[in-house]
Each structure stands twice: as structure tokens, then as C-alpha cells.
Amino acid sequence: MKVVSTIREMRTSSREARARSRRIGLVPTMGALHEGHLSLVRAARSHSDLVVASIFVNPTQFGPNEDYARYPRNLKEDCALLELAGVDVVFAPSVEEMYPAHATWVEVEAMSNRLCGRSRPGHFRGVTTVVSKLFHIVEPDLAFFGQKDGAQVAILRRMVRDLNMPVTIEVCPIVREADGLALSSRNLYLNPNQRKAALTLYRSLLRVREIFDQGEREAAKLIAAAEAEFAGEAGVRLDYFEIVDPDTLEPEPRIWKTALAALAAFVGNTRLIDNILLEP
């Protein structure tokens, strides 16, 4: 496995692969890898000739009072995991390499202000900008993302479509712990009591699915049932629970086609997200 840190080195590797007609799969990450990331790598491995994983904690998607400075960073351990998973190239640039003198942004308007974008202004602009840069640097045929970031997936698909980017977005299922908690690098912040309280997120989604499967289609009633799960859980504060169109992120008052039930909540000071698809 090759580890490169400059854009020039990364482009050289990609162009060598293209010259040999090799299919390139990209797995963008911010490091602090877990089984969710590795499932993306395995999917990329099964569909690609050259698998590239990026490790870059992107400052432009963090707000001024968020956890950019303390976000877990362990490049050596991450590289060891990626090598075992079958990655061919790790692209691990510095902030200075990615943003030497930055004045250009990529933003999907309207959508970027929904769900997490509403409570984290500028977050999705940072995501679309850095992913656009990665696509131009790596030139992948396929890019692999997890369904846990459902809003991000929808926004990136729209960006690719609107800008005619020659890359296919592949979405892989959410990977969960045995008790249902969605894997996240931020789970490392949780103490044992908070880890237990965090199960409220998945429990609320299961409650919504249960009522939905019983025939309820009114979003307001489903959301009220989810909010009730949080009402008695001290130490967990719901940021939002919404039911939206999975492609546009617009609210769905009544579910007549596949919808995304998505939430964000603070467990202590740690913000976690989760979602499920509701399919009539």
C-alpha cells in the first residue's frame, strides 16, 4: 500500500491507473476509522481495480465552536487498518496542501440548509467543496459513502448531477453495534453512561418504523412518537427529527413513497446522527 500526501503524487497514481484502464474507487474519510469505514473499503475493493482512501480532517466543514481541534487523529493506526482491508493508495494531505490560498466554494443551494445544514451553517458547503476537490484530484470512477450520512449523500448526488462530474456515488448500508448504535468516530467521546443513553437515537427510529409498519403515514404523528422517546432520557437533547424526501431533503407531510427519517441529537456535548428509510 502506498501512502501519499501531495496532490501531485495522488494525481500521478491515478493517471498511471487510468493509462492501464483500471477502474478507480474512492473512499473519502476523516480518519478515526471503524467498521463502517472498512465496509466501504470492502465495497470499493469488490467494484474497483485501484482502491484509494483519503484521510483528511476537513476544517471547512466544522463550525467555530465544534470539535475540529479535538477530532480523533491516528494516521498510523488508520493506515494499518486500510492496508489489511485492501486499500492500494492512501491520500493523506495536510490542510496547507488542500487549502493553500482558498477563495472558491462549491455549494448546493437550498439543500445545504436542511437537516444538519440548518443547525450547522456552512457544514455542507465545506463537505461539497472538499469532496469536489477530492474528485478532481483522484478522478475516481466510483465514490463510496455510508447511508448514515443520508443528507450528505443526497447533496453529493445533486452536486455530481448538476456539475456533470464523471463519478458514480455508491451508498452502503449503515453499520451498527450489536445493540443498534450506529458506528461513528465521535462515539469515542462517550463515557459508559452516555454510551447507554445514545441508544435513544436508534430506539426512536425503531419506534417510528413500528408505527409506520402498522399503517401510520402522517409524518407529524411519527415525529411525535420519536420525540416521546427522548422526553424521558436525561442527558440526551434532540436537535431535530424530520421525515424528508431522500433525494431533495424536503419535508414529507404524508408518506406515500420512500422517505428518510433522520435525526440528530446531543448526548452530553457529543452530536450524533442516525436515520432509516421508510418504504411504503
- Same domain for 138 and 214? no
* CB-based contact 208:222 (threshold 8 Å): yes
Cα distance between residue 156 and residue 170, in whole Å: 11
Question: Stretch 34-41: mean pLDDT, rounded?
Answer: 98
What pLDDT, on a 0 to 100 scale, did the predictor assign at position 11?
A: 98
- Same domain for 142 and 201? no
- Same domain for 166 and 190? no
- Same domain for 166 and 222? no
- Same domain for 142 and 8? yes
Nearest alpha carbon to residue 54 among 139, 116, 174: 139
Question: Stretch 56-63: mean pLDDT, rounded?
Answer: 97
102 is catalytic: no
- Same domain for 9 and 87? yes
Which CATH number covers residue 250? Answer: 3.30.1300.10
For 208-220, write each residue's pLDDT tens digit. 999 999 999 999 9
Does any domain span residue 138?
yes
Cell numbers placing 159:
452536486
For 155-185, write each residue's pLDDT tens digit. 999 999 999 999 999 999 999 999 999 999 9
- DSSP for residue 251: B
- Same domain for 199 and 132? no
What pLDDT, on a 0 to 100 scale, did the predictor assign at position 212?
A: 98
What pLDDT, on a 0 to 100 scale, did the predictor assign at position 102?
A: 86
Q: Which domain holds residue 167?
A: 2-172
8 pLDDT exceeds 90?
yes
Which CATH number covers residue 73? Answer: 3.40.50.620
For 105-138, write each residue's pLDDT tens digit. 999 999 999 999 999 999 999 999 999 999 999 9
If one counts every other C-beta atom within 10 angstroms of the C-beta of residue 258, the result is 13
Cell numbers placing 191:
463515557
Q: Among 142, 172, 202, where does a domain finish?
A: 172
pTM: 0.97
Work out the mean pLDDT of the chain and round it to a whole number.
97
* CB-based contact 41:90 (threshold 8 Å): no
| Catalytic position from the list 37, 47, 102, 123 | 37
What pLDDT, on a 0 to 100 scale, did the predictor assign at position 234?
A: 87
Q: Among 112, 146, 172, where does a domain finish?
A: 172
Nearest alpha carbon to residue 63 among 10, 117, 139, 24: 117
What pLDDT, on a 0 to 100 scale, did the predictor assign at position 110?
A: 95
Residue 232's pLDDT band, with cuts at 50, 70 and 90, is confident
- Same domain for 65 and 137? yes
H-only helix segments in 59-149: 75-85, 95-98, 116-119, 123-138
Does any domain span residue 180?
no
- Same domain for 244 and 219? yes
Question: Stretch 255-265: mean pLDDT, rounded?
Answer: 98
- Same domain for 72 and 9? yes
Does any domain span residue 178?
no
- Identity of the residue numbered 252: E
- Identity of the residue numbered 178: A
Quote the number of domains for the chain: 2
- Same domain for 167 and 235? no
H-only helix segments in the chain: 7-19, 35-47, 75-85, 95-98, 116-119, 123-138, 150-162, 192-197, 199-213, 219-231
Question: Stretch 49-72: mean pLDDT, rounded?
Answer: 97
What pLDDT, on a 0 to 100 scale, did the predictor assign at position 124?
A: 98
- Same domain for 19 and 106? yes
Q: What percent of the chain has pLDDT over 70?
A: 100
Residue 227's pLDDT band, with cuts at 50, 70 and 90, is very high
- Residue 24 has φ and ψ, to the nearest 5°, of -105, 125
Does any domain span residue 137?
yes
- Give 268: exposed, middle or buried? Use CB within 10 Å, 0-12, 13-18, 19+: middle
